[in-house]
């Protein structure tokens, strides 16, 4: 399983909190790439509920990681 910013960003609008099955269903309904579906299928499932993409990919960058001032735009 590997995540990239592009792959993980496809799940930003997912209905959080969600289970693995709900995320796979969301991905299939919204037409995400097969790499995203495959990554979700590889998650070890113990019935856990994921609160956000950070629960799946802890290195997912937050808005604080980007160095720009939103007030300037």
Q: For residue 39, what pLDDT is reported?
A: 93
Residue 69 φ/ψ, nearest 5 degrees: -100, 110
- pTM, two decimals, is 0.79
Residue 65 located in a structural domain = no
Residue 25 lies in a domain: yes
Task: Summarize pLDDT for 18-45 with one digit per residue, the tens.
Answer: 999 999 999 999 999 999 999 999 998 7
The tokens 């994921």 sit on which residue? 50
Q: Does residue 70 lie in a domain region?
A: no
Consecutive H or E run containing 6: helix 5-9
- Domain assignment of residue 45, given as a range: 20-55
- The number of folded domains in the chain is 1
Strand partners, 19: 49
In the predicted structure, residue 72 carries a pLDDT above the cut 70? no
SS3 assignment, position 49:
strand
Q: Does a structural domain hold residue 45?
A: yes
Closest to 10 (Cα-Cα) out of 45, 67, 24? 24
């Amino acid at each position: 399983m590997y995540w990239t910013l592009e792959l993980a960003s496809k799940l930003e609008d997912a209905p959080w909190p969600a289970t693995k099955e709900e995320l796979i269903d969301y991905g299939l309904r919204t037409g995400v790439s097969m790499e995203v579906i495959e990554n979700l299928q590889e998650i070890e499932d113990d019935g856990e509920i994921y609160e956000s993409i950070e629960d799946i990919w802890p290195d997912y960058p937050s808005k604080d990681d980007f160095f720009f001032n939103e007030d300037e735009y």
